[in-house]
């Protein structure tokens, strides 16, 4: 027997795709019966379901989920946008979002926006055109055009990894300004008086920096020195920033980094230069990545429960997609400072 049915080969000359009609012919059932076996299998017998499954396996047919969902206006697809997947800080959220949606019969489509607004706009245009059941975004800073498109789409939207009382729709995250203030107070309580911050150039890191500097001034300290590096941040940029900080007097005695990778770079450079941590300089990271506790010395850092963000975002989307009321629409998961050996 040929590996592919003649009918399927003939029908694909026009579109290049195996259709449900091809599956129905191979299974020996009517097209409407094949459709029911795919979309509402409980309406047909096990014998019919078996024939259709075998035909699908032989032809390689993939059901058109969008077309099948037109009657209910549900695609069972959720789109998530993150700045980057090269940095591990968002991975816990993406994994929890993927798992939580899958448990409820939804699939995740992931896009990278980078740290430039116009890239998010282009990505949103492509996503909205595919009419997913929900969109999960990183942050609350979107262009005017992006906001108009999202609001006009009517698609449930969850903003994450940030906090505002006026979200586009729903939000789960934490306050970056509160993080900055809390770290300044933490270092001050540790007796550190000459603070610095090494920061990515993205909007969320900038708000942490501004709050960190403002709180230090309010505590009677000199304004912390700031070195801004391109996002996504790297170990190499952390090393370069630490070298720059140590070249110019007065020497700082504490460095707050906008990512654990930056902090790892700062630690590496301090060790290369023979600078004792925490004896001469304290170091604080952000993100509490898996390696932070295993460094020597172990890294003090700001812990964010990324998995909780993903699970809550998934719950928001599913509730809205299935017609349930969402209240409250804003969830602040907070943060904590994990005090380890670098401070």
String of DSSP letters for 309-320: HHHHHHHHHHHH
Whether 162 and 186 share a structural domain: no
Residue 1: predicted pLDDT = 39
Helix (H, G, I), strand (E, B) or coil at 227: strand
Whether 225 and 141 share a structural domain: no
Backbone angles phi, psi at 257, to 5 degrees: -110, 145
Which residue is it, tokens 């816990």?
92
Whether 130 and 186 share a structural domain: no
Does the residue 342 lie in any domain? no
Whether 106 and 92 share a structural domain: yes
pTM surpassing 0.85?
no
> What is the Cα–Cα distance from 220 to 188, expressed in whole angstroms?
10
Whether 136 and 229 share a structural domain: no
Q: With contact defined as beta carbons under 8 Å apart, do 258 and 208 qualify?
A: yes
> End-to-end CA distance of the chain, in Å?
72
> What is the Cα–Cα distance from 143 to 80, expressed in whole angstroms?
17
Whether 187 and 265 share a structural domain: yes
> What is the Cα–Cα distance from 298 to 342, expressed in whole angstroms?
6
What would the two tokens of residue 69 be? 């969902």
Whether 144 and 201 share a structural domain: no
**Domain end: 32, 63, 94, which one?**
63
Neighbouring CB atoms inside 10 A of 274's CB total: 7
**CB neighbours of 103 closer than 8 A, spacing ≥ 6?**
none
Q: Which domain holds residue 20?
A: 6-63
Whether 192 and 292 share a structural domain: yes
Which residue is it, tokens 């890239």?
119
Beta sheet of 77-82, edge-to-edge order? 107-112, 77-82, 134-138, 157-160, 170-173, 330-332
Q: With contact defined as beta carbons under 8 Å apart, do 268 and 235 qualify?
A: yes
Task: Classify residue 244 as exposed, middle or buried by CB count within 10 Å of its CB (0-12, 13-18, 19+).
Answer: middle
What would the two tokens of residue 191 be? 């007796």
Does the residue 72 lie in any domain? no
Residues facing residue 170 across a β-bridge: 158
Q: With contact defined as beta carbons under 8 Å apart, do 190 and 256 qualify?
A: no
Whether 183 and 293 share a structural domain: yes
Residues listed for the chain: 343
> What is the Cα–Cα distance from 326 to 171, expressed in whole angstroms?
11
Does the residue 58 lie in any domain? yes
Helix (H, G, I), strand (E, B) or coil at 277: coil
The β-bridge relationship of strands 282-286 and 330-332 is unpaired
Whether 266 and 122 share a structural domain: no
Helix (H, G, I), strand (E, B) or coil at 103: helix
- The domain spanning residue 316 has which CATH number? 3.40.50.2300
Mean pLDDT for back-to-back runs of 10 residues, the chain (343 residues):
44 58 92 88 91 88 59 76 81 95 93 74 84 91 85 91 94 98 98 97 94 98 96 94 91 96 97 96 97 97 97 96 92 98 98
The β-bridge relationship of strands 300-303 and 336-338 is antiparallel
Does the residue 141 lie in any domain? yes
Whether 170 and 180 share a structural domain: no
């Amino acid at each position: 027997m040929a590996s592919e049915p003649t009918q399927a080969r003939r029908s694909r000359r026009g579109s290049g795709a195996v259709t449900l009609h091809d599956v129905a012919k191979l299974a020996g059932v009517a097209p409407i019966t094949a459709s029911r076996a795919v979309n509402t299998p409980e309406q047909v017998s096990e014998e019919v379901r078996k024939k259709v499954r075998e035909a699908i396996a032989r032809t390689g047919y993939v059901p058109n989920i969008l077309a099948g969902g037109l009657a209910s206006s549900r695609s069972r697809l959720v789109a998530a946008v993150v700045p980057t997947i090269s940095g591990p800080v968002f991975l816990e959220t993406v994994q929890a979002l993927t798992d939580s949606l899958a448990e409820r019969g939804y699939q995740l489509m992931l896009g990278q926006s980078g740290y430039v607004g116009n890239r998010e706009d282009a990505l949103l245009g492509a996503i909205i055109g595919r009419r997913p059941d929900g969109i999960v975004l990183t942050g609350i800073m979107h262009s005017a055009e992006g906001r108009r498109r999202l609001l006009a789409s009517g698609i449930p939207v969850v903003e994450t990894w940030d906090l505002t009382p006026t979200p586009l729709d729903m939000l789960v995250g934490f306050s970056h300004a509160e993080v900055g203030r809390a770290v300044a107070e933490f270092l001050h309580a540790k007796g550190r008086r000459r603070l610095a911050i090494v920061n990515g150039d993205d909007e969320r890191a900038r708000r942490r920096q501004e709050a960190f500097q403002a709180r230090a001034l309010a505590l009677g300290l000199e304004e912390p020195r700031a070195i801004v590096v391109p996002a996504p941040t790297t170990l190499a940029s952390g090393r370069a920033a630490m070298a720059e900080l140590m070249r110019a007097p007065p020497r700082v005695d504490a460095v707050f980094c906008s990512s654990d990778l930056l902090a790892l770079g700062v630690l590496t450079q301090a060790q290369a230069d023979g600078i004792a941590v925490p004896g001469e300089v304290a170091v604080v990271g952000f993100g509490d990545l898996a390696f932070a506790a295993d460094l020597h010395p172990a890294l003090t850092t700001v812990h964010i429960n990324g998995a909780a963000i993903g699970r809550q975002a998934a719950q928001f989307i599913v509730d809205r997609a299935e017609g349930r009321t969402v209240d409250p629409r804003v969830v602040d998961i907070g943060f904590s400072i994990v005090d380890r050996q670098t401070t």
